Amino acid sequence: MEIRKSIVSRIAILYFFLMLFGMVVIFKMISVQQIKNERWEKIAKNLKENTVTIDPNRGNICAEDGSVLATSVPGYYVRIDLAAEGVKRVYSEESDSLAYYLSRFFKDASRAEYNRRLNAAYRAKNRGFMLTPRKVDFQELKQIKKFPILRRGRFGGGMIIEQENQRVAPLGSLALRTIGDLNKGAYGGVHGNIGYTGLEGAYEQYLKGKEGISYRENLSGRWVTRTEIEPQDGMDIFTTINVKMQDITESALRRNLEKNDADWGTAILMEVKTGEIKAIANLGKENGEYAENYNYALGNQGCYEPGSTFKLVSLMAAMEDGIIDTSDVYDTGSGVWKYRGRTIYDSDYRYGGHGEMTVKQIFEKSSNVGVAKIIISAYEGNPKKFVDRIYGFGLNKPLGLEIKGEGQPFFKYPGDSDWWGTTLAWMSYGYESKMTPLQVLTFYNAVANNGKMLKPRLVKEIRENGVLVKEFKPEVLNPMIATSETVGQAQKMLEGACENGTGRSLRNPWFKIAGKTGTAQVATGQGGYQKGMYLASFAGYFPADDPEYSIIVTINNPRGGAYYGGSVAGPVFKEIAERVYAIRSLFKEPEEDPENPEAPVFPEIKKGGSENIIRIAEELNIRNITGKPVTPLVTVKKSDNGLVLDELEIPEGKVPDVRGMGASDAIFILENAGLRVRIDGIGKVKSQSLQPGAAFSRGAQVYLTLG
Amino acid sequence: MLFQSKIFRGDRVIWMVLLLLSLLSLLIVYSSTGALAYRQASGNTMHFLVRQVFFLGAGLGLMLVMVNFLSVKIYSILANLLVYISIGLLLVSVAMKFMGLSSGSGRTLDLGIISFQPAELAKISLILFTAKVLGKYQKSKGDLKKAFLIIISHAAVVCGLIFVSDFSTSALLFATIFTMLFVGRVPLKFLFIVVGMGVGIIAFTYFLASQFPSAPARVHTVKGRIDRFINGDPNSEQGITQADYAKLAIYEGGIFGKGPGRSDVSNYMAAAYNDFIFAIIVEEYGLLAGIFVMFLYLIFFFRSVVIVRRATRTFPAFLVTGLTMMLVFQAMINIGVSSGVLPVTGQPLPWVSLGGTSLLFTSVAFGCILSVSYQNQINSEIQKPPIQVNMPDEDFEMNK
């Protein structure tokens, strides 16, 4: 008994001490919570200030073959710490010349204005006064570094440099409006990093990536930045755009606009079987030059009365309702028809009219009188049936594109306050209603595709670090817009229009085109039409017997004398069709090598970002990678069963050697070195216009040939 | 009801405490490993929760096996063997550390299939060993002196080896052995000698560090920590230390806490799920919950005292005392460090902190205590141990 008693009493003593300790802890916790509150508030604030977000790299927007349409390169802002000791010493002497230099450099405000701003900020002891009204590139930054005051650097001259990536389109203006833009931000061009228009806006979620977080921490007296969460780079958007076809489309359109001195024009090339938009060009006149300034192809400003291209819809409606057949005969008389107090003219009525014609001929000659007579005789008693049929084709609904700002199609409905007695007649040949060029093309594409209406697609896939994340499949809007008989007759009429009708000028010896011209007077608003202002268009597809591509070309307000769809928009259609036909075999899916279909071969990359190369190697299951890359860029050599990596140093002030790199790596390196880059072609860099290792002048342009 | 089932043998209150702690562990580990999950498990925030569920489950299973199938006497038999295995493993890891074969602080021994900290095994082994020796030499002053010498020499070797890589575990184990000696009726004279020597060693280490800059790094760590604790952290004016984060967490928690999963501070702390977990408990569930958690460990301690009182023999009594002391001390260190009462050191909160194999060693400790408790219950009911081991007893019945 004695042992137990002794043991237990000794434990009791320990228990007592532990209880005491517990009391101390409770007391301490209460004191932490109740006393010295300010210190904790300060630390909590510090905690947030010590948190630094790390921006991810925005994903690229690529063409279907992977060539880069939009990517990010570094850009800079410069601020000045006007309360720095070094600045104070020299401010009074040099501030005026700094203002002079800034004014001369940016040209956005006078020297006096810059002086006023600087002095106000100086009096307010502004520690981070923004000097750059816009993002500057590396070359410009180097110049600014030599400005008065600033040339003394961070400590002497209070110069603060902020890096923020900026978006560039290495292929120039190609499909620029469809690729889209980043917003310009709320502070006059600063911090524009959110996708806003076009695909940049539509796929912002995927492109933007995820911010990382790092903390500034004090470890044993040393401040270190610890990356807590790595930033996740944005995903790459692979569009359906084909660089070659886009180039063809855009240059054909540009030449034509210049020749006709038009306000704007758009041309869209769509793959019939898939609905993929292979090319989309939008050019508007701005200060005498044509630039991608608005997406007329699908936006609200491009939403116009379609004119004669709509006759296809009207006649198909009547055929579908079994009211007419292509061989029925109507009398178009002298090409002038007075209907309910208004007069309908054929475009060529001055030559005396065509008299009696079959429906097919009416379409081929694009007779307004003919089409109006057909539709009036068929639907005058029941216009609702006609409009319902148009709705049934699915034309009254927008296409539901991912890009913001799609123009809303507009069709009047009998009973509406603006449904006049003449509306049915005018509607029949494309007036008193509105559609975007892309909406018209979608309908024509459906006819080419034997009645199956596909939603136009701009994006094929989304990839993250090269790994497929999301694949977009063709989307069917209407599996059969009309019976196959109607569609078949429509195809014959379109073919006929190009063989014997208004589209005759498009004939060529190699393949047949099917399509329809359109010439619409442009409405100025309340009912009136402006004299001499036309919207010329041409919609169709080729080759007529086995359609591969459909195209619409729309030219607004040509001033060159000609204004008919056939003579203004037609040549653009023809040029695109012929050149695309010539190269189209290049883009057929390559047949798989039956001998060895699976063996992965590491692409012939000579150098590039080490992360990218290692990632590609991992994907191809190449395990044997030797060499220890410390530099972010490496050279690559293939060995028997693996890869050997080696360091790649880029000497300062010399043109970097980017031959053998992928376009994206090459652009990043060159832009970072201070060169402006233009690329041509697809694939890896074959040659560069500035020799590697050569010295280069500020902001020099370097052309890369890919292949 | 779970507790009515026959498999949860031994002290029901301790089982209850364990299950409450398990629940708390899962809640806190899930919410405090967010940042860690991004670092180590590519953002899969479930990763560490799943892991913790696995190890807690395995630990509870291990306890059930021990309570239901293992006799207390087995631990006595294994004690000597285990202590020498521990010393061997510690030697191996120390050797590896000095030959530069191991990465990190040299606390972990990687055996291919599993990796664990030999110090964890050593803690339990040395306590078993101490309990056995103390139990065996209780008859006379001479006996106790002999016991003291045997124990202190073994403890010196084991703690010395642990000290090389981990000061606080070494100190914790030594303190545990020391209290066992105290409870085991070793004359106070000897204990005072030990205390005197201990103070001497710490003072020596401290001055060694200031005199010889080339002394081993751990010596400097000890000195630095003592300096910081006494003089205040020189960094605290410029930046934020771990201890500041912990205090901030306690401050932000208030009386009732921010609510489950609402902890902000855990995102910034390096060891929120581990050495400072108590601070995060207070941040999320408040001061009252913190006091309650502390209370749970004290309840556990109290139940252990009851077990010791009911024990019929000396070995189980000392065993329970030792293991309980170790666990409660460890808890108090974590609580003390988190609240700023003790200098910063890394001890997990037993059965709550995120852990791997170390959780299994903790469960062995609890398992031993529960085994003894179960044996007591059997003894009082049928006056006969249920599982007989045919070996002569080396310890004494306390009633004689």
- The candidate with the shortest Cα–Cα distance to A685, out of A584, A603, A621, A616, is A603
Give domain status of residue B107, yes or no: yes
Q: How confident is the model at residue B237 (pLDDT cuts 50, 70, 90)?
A: very low
The answer as to CATH 3.40.50.200 being correct for domain A55-239 is no
Mean pLDDT score, B192-218: 78
Question: Dihedral of CA A305/A310/A315/A319: which sign?
Answer: negative
Average pLDDT along chain A: 82
Residue A207 contacts residue A439 (beta carbons within 8 Å): no
User: In percent, how much of chain B has pLDDT > 90?
Assistant: 40
Backbone angles phi, psi at A299, to 5 degrees: -85, 175
CATH numeric code, A607-706? 3.30.10.20
Q: For CA atoms B288, B294, B297, B302, give the dihedral sign.
A: negative
Using CB atoms within 10 Å of the CB of residue A273, give its burial: 0 to 12 exposed, 13 to 18 middle, 19+ buried.
Answer: middle
- For residue A153, the model assigns a pLDDT of 76
- Asked if residue A118 lies in contact with residue A95, where contact means CB atoms within 8 angstroms, the answer is yes
pLDDT at A607: 64
A216 CB neighbours in chain B (<8 A) are 239
Q: Which residues of A touch B (CB under 8 A)?
A: 1, 3-4, 6-8, 10-12, 14-15, 18-19, 21-22, 24-26, 28-30, 32-33, 37, 40, 43-44, 46-47, 50, 215-218, 220-221, 223, 228-230
Cβ-based neighbour number of residue A340 at 10 Å: 10
Q: Do A25 and B248 touch (CB under 8 A)?
A: no
Chain A residue closest to B335 (CA)? A25
Query: Taking CA atoms, what residue in A is nearest to B318?
Result: A7
Which residue, among A194, A233, A182, has the nearest Cα to A211 in the 3D structure? A233
Nearest to residue A372, comparing CAs of A415, A329, A337, A418? Answer: A337
Q: What angle do CA A665, A237, A456 make, to 5 degrees?
A: 145
Q: Is the pLDDT of residue A589 over 70?
A: no
Average of per-residue pLDDT across A94-121:
89
* pLDDT in the model for residue B86: 93
Q: Say how many CA atoms lie within 13 Å of B275 toward its Cβ.
A: 17
- pLDDT tens-place string over residues A620-651: 666 666 665 556 666 666 666 666 776 666 66
- Residue B281 to chain A, least CA–CA distance (Å): 12
pLDDT score at A187: 42
Cβ proximity of A213 and A51 under 8 Å? yes
pLDDT tens by residue, A315-335: 999 999 988 988 899 998 888
Say whether A25 and B341 touch across the interface (CB within 8 A): yes
**B287 contact residues in A (CB cutoff 8 A):** 26, 29-30, 33
Return the pLDDT at B206.
77
Please give the pLDDT value at position A627. Answer: 63
**Segments in A380-508 forming alpha helices (H):** 383-392, 423-428, 437-448, 484-499
pLDDT at residue A186, rounded to an integer: 43
Asked which of B231, B266, B294 is the last residue of a domain, the reply is: B231
The answer to whether B19 and B57 have CB atoms below 8 angstroms apart is no
Longest dimension (CA), chain B: 67
Does residue B53 form part of some domain?
yes
Residue of chain B whose alpha carbon sits nearest to that of A222? B235
Q: Among the listed ranges A162-166, B7-11, B40-44, which one has the minimum average pLDDT value? A: B40-44
DSSP H/E element including A459: strand A459-464
Q: Which residues of B touch A3 (CB under 8 A)?
A: 138, 185, 314, 396, 398
What pLDDT is recorded for position B211?
74
The parent domain of residue B322 ranges over: 9-69+238-375
Q: Are residues B213 and B103 in the same domain?
A: yes
Q: Is the pLDDT higher at A362 or at A353?
A: A362
Report chain A residues whose CB lies below 8 A from the CB of B225.
none
Q: Tell me, what's the pLDDT at A37?
A: 66
**Which residues are CB-neighbours of A688 under 8 A, at least 6 positions away?**
A655, A657, A658, A659, A702, A703, A704, A705
Q: Is there a shared CATH topology between the A243-585 domain and the A607-706 domain? A: no
Helix, strand, or coil here: B145?
Answer: helix
Strand boundaries in A10-104, DSSP class E: 51-54, 61-62, 68-80
Nearest residue in chain B measured CA to CA from A231: B38
Does the residue B313 lie in any domain? yes
pLDDT above 90: residue A229: no
Question: Token pair for residue B53?
Answer: 């569920």
Residue A354 has pLDDT above 50, yes or no: yes
**Average pLDDT for residues B341-366, to the nearest whole number?**
89
Q: Which residue has the tokens 């479930």?
A: B46
Answer yes or no: is B385 within a domain.
no
3-state secondary structure of A678: strand
Residue where the block lists tokens 């003790």? B342
Instruction: Tell me the H-state helices in B100-166.
Output: 118-136, 141-163
Chain A: closest CA distance from residue B243 (Å): 12
Q: To 10 degrees, what angle do helices B46-69 and B12-32 make?
A: 160
Q: What is the mean pLDDT of chain B?
A: 83
Same domain, B42 and B105: no
Query: B306 near A4, Cβ under 8 Å?
Result: no
B250: chain A residues, CB-CB within 8 Å: 29, 32-33
Tell me which residue of A280, A287, A281, A285 sits closest to A262, measured CA to CA. Answer: A285
Distance from CA of A214 to the nearest CA of B (A): 10
Residue B343 makes CB contacts below 8 A (sequence gap 6+) with B225, B226, B228, B229, B337
Which residue would you say has higher pLDDT here, A550 or B164?
A: A550
For residue B398, being part of any structural domain is answered with no
pLDDT tens across B81-132, in order? 999 999 999 998 888 877 766 555 566 766 656 677 889 999 999 999 999 9
* pLDDT confidence of residue A84: 79
B98 and B180 in a single domain? The answer is yes
Mean pLDDT over residues A381-397, rounded? 90
pLDDT category, A597, cuts 50, 70, 90? Answer: very low
> Which residues on adjacent β-strands are paired with residue A518?
A537
Same domain (yes/no): B24, B55 = yes
Helix (H) / strand (E) containing A156: helix A153-156
Q: Which two tokens stand for residue B49?
A: 């929760």
**Residue of A412, A420, A441, A423 lying closest to A518 (CA atoms):** A441
Nearest-CA distance A5 → chain B (Å): 8
pLDDT confidence of residue B14: 93
What interhelical angle do B188-211 and B141-163 show, nearest 10? 20
Same domain? For B244 and B199 the reply is no
Q: How many of the other CB atoms lie within 10 Å of CB of B191?
A: 16
Least confident stretch, A156-165, A290-299, B228-237: B228-237
| pLDDT tens-digit readout, A111-139 | 899 999 889 888 888 878 888 888 888 78
CA atoms of B343 and A611, how far apart (whole Å): 43
Asked if residue B299 and residue B185 are part of one domain, the reply reads no
Instruction: Tell the CATH topology of A243-585.
Output: Beta-lactamase (3.40.710)
Q: What pLDDT score was predicted for residue A286? A: 86
Q: What is the pLDDT of residue A284?
A: 92
* Whether pLDDT at A20 is above 60: yes
CA angle, residues B253, B259, B264, in degrees to nearest 5: 60
A-chain residue closest to B182, CA distance: A10
ipTM score here?
A: 0.88
Within this chain, do residues B25 and B153 fall inside the same structural domain, yes or no? Answer: no
A596 or A98, greater pLDDT:
A98
Chain B partners within 8 Å of A8 (Cβ): 305, 308-309
CB contact under 8 A, A228 and B38: yes
Which residues on chain A are in Cβ contact (under 8 Å) with B248? 40, 43-44, 47
B105 and B52 Cβ atoms separated by less than 8 Å: no
Contact: A30, B241; criterion CB under 8 Å: no
Interface mutation target, options B182, B225, B228, B248, chain A, most CBs of A under 10 Å:
B248
- State mean pLDDT over B296-308: 94
Structure confidence at residue A446 (pLDDT): 95
Same domain, B301 and B343: yes
- HSE, CB side, 13 Å, CA atoms: give it for residue B177: 32
Best of A6, A8, A11 to substitute, by most chain B Cβ atoms within 10 angstroms, is A11
- CA distances to B52, B61, B197, B349, B359 from B364, rounded to whole Å, are 17, 10, 32, 16, 9
Contact B244/A43, CB-based, under 8 Å? yes
What is the pLDDT at residue A222?
A: 45
Closest CA relative to residue A661, chosen from A642, A639, A679, A641: A679
Nearest to A26 among B179, B291, B325 (CB): B291
Instruction: Report yes or no: A194 and A182 within 8 Å, Cβ to Cβ.
Output: yes
pLDDT at A614 over 80: no
pTM passes above 0.80 = no
Confidence of residue A152 (pLDDT cuts 50, 70, 90): confident
| Residue reference for tokens 């200031």 | B210
Residue of chain A whose Cα is closest to the Cα of B139: A3
pLDDT reported for residue B400: 43
Residue B397 lies in a domain: no
Domain boundaries, chain A: 20-50, 55-239, 243-585, 607-706
Please check whether residues B210 and B258 belong to one and the same domain. Answer: no
User: Of B272, B259, B265, B245, which Cα lies nearest the Cα of B36?
Assistant: B272
Identify the CA nearest to A629 among candidates A640, A651, A616, A613: A613
Res B101: pLDDT: 64
Distance of CA A334 to the CA centre of its chain: 49
Is the CB of A14 less than 8 angstroms away from the CB of B325? Answer: yes
Average the pLDDT over each of A15-24, B41-50, B233-242 and give the range with the smallest value.
B233-242
Residue B184, C-beta contacts closer than 8 angstroms, at least 6 positions apart: A7, B130, B134, B138, B144, B147, B318, B321
Burial of B216 (0-12, 13-18, 19+ CB in 10 A): middle
Residue A472 has pLDDT above 70, yes or no: yes
Q: Which of B231, B259, B280 is the last residue of a domain?
A: B231
| B94 close to B161: Cβ distance less than 8 angstroms | yes
Let me know whether B100 and B224 are in one domain.
yes
* Residue contact A4–B35, C-beta within 8 A: no
Among the listed ranges A172-186, A440-454, B348-362, which one has the minimum average pLDDT value?
A: A172-186
Tally of domains within chain B: 2
A661-679: pLDDT as tens digits: 777 777 777 777 777 777 7
Q: Which of A33, A44, A218 sits opposite B287 (nearest CB)?
A: A33
Residue A6 with chain B: CB contacts under 8 Å: 185
* Mean pLDDT computed over A500-525: 84
For residue B75, being part of any structural domain is answered with: no
Q: Is residue B45 part of a domain?
A: yes
Instruction: Write the CB contacts of B122 (distance below 8 Å, at least 6 apart in sequence).
Output: B83, B86, B87, B89, B90, B158, B161, B162, B173
Long-range CB contacts (< 8 A, 24+ apart) of B384-387? B385/B71, B387/B70, B387/B71
Give the residue-averaged pLDDT of A426-430. 91
Q: A19 and B253 in contact by Cβ < 8 A?
A: no
| Predicted local confidence at residue A675, as pLDDT | 78
With beta carbons less than 8 A apart as the criterion, state whether A178 and A282 touch. yes
Contact across the interface for B234 and A221, Cβ inside 8 Å: yes
Q: Answer yes or no: do B43 and B140 share one domain.
A: no
Instruction: For residue B298, list chain A residues with Cβ-Cβ distance below 8 A.
Output: 18-19, 22
The answer on pLDDT for B233 being more than 60 is no
Of the ranges A160-174, A479-493, B192-206, the best mean pLDDT one: A479-493
Mean pLDDT, range A475-487, rounded to an integer: 91
- Whether B262 and B336 map to the same domain: the answer is yes
Query: How far A231 CA lies from chain B's nearest CA (Å)?
Result: 11
